[in-house]
Structure 1
Amino acid sequence: MPIRIPEQLPAQDVLLGENIFTMDSLRAANQDIRPLEVGILNLMPNKIETEVQLLRLLSNTPLQINVDLIRIDNLAPKHTPQSHMDAFYHDFSSVAAKRYDGLIVTGAPLAHLDYRQVKYWDTMAEILDWSERHVQSTLYLCWAAHAAMYHFFNVERSLRADKLSGVFEHQVLDPHHELLRGFDPYFYAPHSRFGHISCEAYAAVNELKVLARSDEAGAYLAASQDNRKVFVTGHPEYDPETLHEEYQRDLNSETPAVLPQHYYPDDNPILEPKVRWRSHGSLLFTNWLNYCVYQNTPYDLNLLASHAGKRGNK
């Protein structure tokens, strides 16, 4: 959240030069404050686990947030009780008339399917288009980031022969971007995917900018110029044991198991994993909520369509 300081205080220029968000008294006095409305389109089969991971990150902020869990179809989830879905999830059709300050679209285990082969692709495309009219800022995670790149910009992913799995070092490319406020120049984040879109492919889209990348994992964070589309190719929400559980699952399936890189001490899966990404994940979500959502969303969400593209109204 911003620091409110007196106008003309010399510290203001210093703090702004360090990419620290400050707010003068006039702007603070004209703020309209209400709970944020955030939707989560959960595409993961184990929905309860994903809910916990995302809600943990969303809760690490002083902002009050109302959350709607959204499902894309009525098919019975593979790893989630139907009773849970019926009790806590909204069909997209039931919230299609609503407007949201923020929307999170999760990854999905659909790496080897062409987008058009995904059984709910038509609905997915409808939701992506809907988000441009009904959502201030949308955060796309992993598979959803690639799917949104394909839908909005016709950028195709390539598929790796082996899964990219592990915790990789990333470099901040634009330390003055709002999403990266407070980041160290280098940070760690988990990846678990077959899909790949190069940094050059992101950079070729005039509307987008790559904000963080890894020598091993490639582009990690990209955003549109107006911050209404944010693409994260990894999993900042992962729990400490998530990559381990995925690895154990693959060992017991027909999927070739890939030992997660830079995750176990000495690459020994018997040892407890190194956890060095959770503070970055928390900061990324806090920055997204504050700078891409709260600082830009209109107080009256009915004005969202006319408000698109305007900045700094908070």
Structure 2
Amino acid sequence: MPIRIPDQLPASDVLRKENIFVMPESRASTQEIRPLKILILNLMPKKIETETQFLRLLSNSPLQLDIELLRIDDRPSKNTPEEHLNAFYRQFDKIKDRNFDGLIITGAPLGLVQFEDVAYWDHLQTIMTWAKHHVTSTLYVCWAAQAGLKLLYNLPKRTRKEKLSGVYHHDIHQPFHPILRGFDDTFLAPHSRYADFDADYLGEHTDLDILATSDVAGVYLASTKDKRNVFVTGHPEYDANTLHNEYVRDLGEGMEPMIPVNYYPNDNPDNLPRASWRSHGHLLFSNWLNYCVYQQTPFDLEHFSEDKFTKDD
């Protein structure tokens, strides 16, 4: 089944060339199907690139999805044309009275910034709190996972001494958990962060189900018992060349970044990197949509607040 996005969104052409079924709004409006309402809060600077990455993963599902894009505030963007933001993004005030089946909060390049110094921190907390009563399941990615742990468990910001960058092996811990359905015992996933997600620390200070970890990268995947909050500390949405572009950017800024681990063939940046994480990235998003969203969400979103989740709030 297709993802439903605005007809003129730049990602449409990219995804169609990849033979991904994208349904324009004009056609979807004629179908008598209740699509899942998915909201994406995009905190990344290069929003068009990030939109395409997440939409690609969301497309690998038999469910029809109605995608809406949310911006955190109205400050001008250095990396995305204002006309694009005005055309395709909504402000929180415009959607705050509605309910959604799923919410994805992306990462952000704020690894070395304290939460209270983030310009939109208060607003982000407002949105995360709103999601408790208006969203069936929220997926927190990378920096957003750290922010979500702060909001839900009051965990302080924990920062690594050196940036974690590369593609790491992970082990699964609850093979029969729905989010891990179909996962291999070990799998690869990319990371690019300063945040520290130590498995023992999260196990001691939260009631989360720890689903996948790395000896080097720590926790990769965790979920609340009710699957309404899912934390992904890496970047399963990354393209094959995203880590390379970040590495080249840091070199150009006079930094001395370490070569991303297990990424370039023979660890040589002159070699073309190849993605080794796509299959599990698609599987993760497909499982989230099916088991955390579709199987849990009320059919009538208008009755969300008095539905099955009311007793949990």
State the 1:206 CA deviation: 4.7
Deviation at 1:109, TM superposition (A): 0.5
Aligned residue for 1:138? 138
Give aligned pairs, total. Answer: 280
CA 1:305–1:200 in structure 2 vs 1: closer, same or farther (change >3 Å)? farther
Partner of 1:168: 168
Matches of 1:246 and 1:225, distance apart in 2: 35
Computed over aligned residues only, the root mean square deviation of the Cα atoms, in angstroms, reads 1.5
Unaligned segments of structure 2, at least 5 residues: 2-31
Aligned to 1:6: none
Q: Which amino acid aligns with 1:171?
A: D
Counterpart CA distance in 1 for 2:308 and 2:189 is: 31
For the pair 1:83 / 2:83, whether they are aligned, the reply is yes
Question: Structure 1 residues 225, 309: closer, same or farther in 2, change over 3 A?
Answer: farther
Q: Tell me which stretches of 4 or more aligned residues in structure 1 moved more than 6 Å.
A: none
Aligned-partner SS, 1:204: helix
Alignment-derived partner of residue 286 in structure 2: 286
Aligned to 2:243: 243
Bigger drift between 211-220 and 201-210 goes to 201-210
Q: Does 1:196 align with 2:196?
A: yes
**TM-aligned CA deviation for residue 303 of structure 1:** 2.0
For 1:38, the aligned partner's letter is I
Contact kept, 8 Å, 1:226 with 1:309, in 2: the verdict is no
Q: Which residue of 2 aligns with 1:117?
A: 117
CA distance in 2, matches of 1:154, 1:255: 33
Instruction: State the alpha-carbon separation in 2 of the partners of residues 141 and 100 from structure 1.
Output: 18
Which amino acid letter does the alignment assign opposite residue 261 of structure 2?
Q
Q: Which residue of 2 aligns with 1:231?
A: 231
C-alpha contact (below 8 Å) 1:197/1:219 kept by paired residues:
yes
Gaps of 5+ in 1: 2-31
Residue 197 of structure 2 contacts residue 217 of structure 2 at CA under 8 Å; is this kept in 1? no
Instruction: Indicate the SS of the match to 2:160.
Output: strand
Structure 1 residues 113 and 287, CA, compared in 2 at 3 Å: closer, same or farther?
same
1:19 matched residue in structure 2: none
Structure showing greater Rg: 1
Q: Deviations over 1:167-189 (max 9, x none)?
A: 00000100000000000000000
User: Secondary structure at 2:85's aligned position in 1?
Assistant: helix
Distance 2:308 2:172 in 1: 27
2:256 & 2:150 partners in 1: Cα distance? 27
The aligned amino acid for 2:177 is H
* Kept after mapping to 2: 8 A contact 1:170/1:189: yes
